[in-house]
Amino acid sequence: MKDVFKTKKLLALVGLVILSGCSKKQLEADYLIINGQVYTAEQPHSEALDIAVCGSKICGVFLQGESNVIAEQTIDATNMIVSPGFIDPHTHTLEELLSNDKNNNLNYLTQGVTTVVNGNDGEGPVDIAGTASKLQKNKIGTNVALLIGHGSVREQVMGRAQQHASAEQLNEMQKLVAKGMQEGALGLSSGLYYVPGSYANTEEIVSLAKVVAEYQGIYDTHMRDESTFNIGFLNAIKESIEIAEQAQVHLHLAHIKALGVDVWGQSEQAIELIEQAQQKGVSISADQYPWLASGTKLHSAIMPKWVMADSREAFIGRLNDAMLADRLHAEITENIRRRGGPESLLITAFQDANLVGKTLKEVAQASKQSVVDTAIALVKKGDVRVASFNMSQQDVNAFMQQPWVVTSSDGTNGHPRKYASFPQKYQEYVVNKQLLTTSEFITQSSRKTAAYLGIKDRGVLREGYAADIIIWDANNFQANADFSQWNKLSTGVKYTLVNGHLVIDKYKYLNELQGVFVAR
């Protein structure tokens, strides 16, 4: 009798289990990602989860094996990491995104980057709506967000004049910034090291940053000095903090670094200044690329700012002015010294391809001219891109480990950072040096970046968020570009979804342009 009762009870329990299983709502999805090592960017470790994608959104996150999903395509991520697509807060990719090349931004997709920011260094477009419309019509390989550039706004209002803005000019600039924010810009970028941004005083930037703050935007800055070119590295940090305090705006420090022998070791003091400000309530973040060399144009690296005022004709005229020769030579010599000497300046892109891959010192020796005369002659011929080997490993490591520093590329032609920054950071600082965990790397490349920049619904694997998802092989996620061949694609990303569309399938790019404009 007892056995019969036990049998009836067992059958009843089985029936309950079956009924509860049947009561689970069945989800119809486009994709179901199973068996992966999932980093949602919200936990400090991986989880055993399955991810469902419906249209452009993540529509379900389940414990592995517990989903009730009928998917058009199941992606098996066994032995793979599943994470949010990376967000690069500092790129120079508008030219590629506006091109007709179906591969546009493939160099970022193969790094795991699904969203890029443009308009950095004060060079952002003034017409945010017009730029966004062109991008959408053209179709783009990654998502893109835009910053409105202080330098561009200033140049539109007052040209490249080496003077402070009048009240009328400032009012006009404020209107342009407000318009850009209304059209979806993340915030204002400045390039206070570059012309014409370098001609602005602190008060001008504060007044424009206040406009941005009204729209809950950010202030992103290439600081006035990262070395000893003018006010000094630490003073430039202080100026940036002052702007943020007065404007009550979030401060984002672009490609944070201690540039040049004069300021090596100052990362410790810089970090202290930033953390003291944070403790007082100033909201501050920064980004960093994982290389010891920066990249810029030769004239920006070594020419005094006063020489570059007004037009290019005026610039060349000053270079040819015999009355200015002694002053020019002295200041250029000092700027080259700050960057570690002519042997530390590697030509990476120039109209004369024979000079690419040579240092300024080597070119000078071959031409039998002085280093300064060689540099002036090159600049007169056109834009010369250089890699400037000017950072110490100690400072790079120190900034890398700060919880408020995120991953970026600042990608430019001639420098491997454009093709390889994210895998370079993973291989060098997670795998080799073990300064970061895999989780920290992913969080610094996705969730934190989105949060600092004010990008909503991206950077996390969560139901309702945009389905920007990468599935990558941790053992083979690596940078292939270097300074001898800067434009080799990275490897290791097996699948990529951008807004729910598969754009990389089993390591193969599908020629799909599925990016969108991401407004604040």
Q: How confident is the model over 292-332, as pLDDT tens digits?
A: 999 888 998 899 888 888 888 998 999 999 999 999 999 99
User: In degrees to the nearest 10, what's the CA dihedral of 258, 260, 264, 268?
Assistant: -10
Cβ 485 vs Cβ 469: under 8 Å: no
Q: pLDDT per residue over 145-166, tens digit each? A: 999 999 999 999 999 999 999 9
Across 21-35, 221-235, 238-252, least confident range: 21-35
Q: Is residue 397's pLDDT more than 70?
A: yes
| The pLDDT of residue 6 | 40
Instruction: Kindly state the percentage of the chain with pLDDT values over 90.
Output: 86
Give the residue-averaged pLDDT of 101-129.
95
C-beta separation of 223 from 236 below 8 A = yes
Nearest Cα residue to 88 out of 403, 402, 409, 399: 409
Q: Measuring CA to CA, how many Å separate 159 from each of 191, 197, 250?
A: 15, 11, 28
Mean pLDDT of all residues in the chain?
93
CB neighbour class for 194 (10 Å; exposed up to 12, middle 13-18, buried from 19) = buried
| Contact of 446 with 84, CB cutoff 8 Å | yes
Is pLDDT at 21 greater than 50 in this prediction?
A: no
pLDDT of residue 398: 98
pLDDT exceeds cutoff 70 at 20: no
In whole angstroms, give the CA distance from residue 424 to residue 32. 30
pLDDT computed for residue 25 by the predictor: 78
Angle at 320 between CA 318 and CA 321, to 5 degrees: 65
Nearest in space to 293 (alpha carbons), one of 383, 424, 401, 198: 424
In sequence order, what DSSP letters do the residues of 238-267 get, joined into one string? Answer: HHHHHHHHHHT-EEEETT----SGGGTTTH
- 230-252 pLDDT, tens digit each: 999 999 999 999 999 999 999 99
Domains, the chain, in order of start with CATH, read 87-295+392-453 (3.20.20.140), 300-389 (no CATH)
Q: Output the pLDDT for position 24.
A: 58
What is the C-alpha to C-alpha distance for residues 447 and 89, in angstroms, rounded to an integer?
A: 12
| Distance of alpha carbon 471 from alpha carbon 109, whole angstroms | 12
- What confidence tier does 2 reach under pLDDT thresholds 50, 70, 90? very low
pLDDT band at 67 (very low <50, low <70, confident <90, very high): confident
Rounded alpha-carbon distances, angstroms, from residue 9 to 3, 12, 13, 299, 457: 10, 5, 6, 85, 48
pLDDT of residue 300: 87
- Is 58 a residue whose pLDDT tops 60? yes
- Spatial neighbors of 382 by CB under 8 A, at least 6 apart, are 350, 351
- Give CA separation, 252 vs 199, 268, 283, in Å: 21, 18, 9
**Whole-prediction pTM:** 0.90
pLDDT digits (tens, 9 = 90+) for 431-474: 999 999 999 999 999 999 999 999 999 999 999 999 999 999 99
Q: Which helix (H) or strand (E) holds 327?
A: helix 325-338
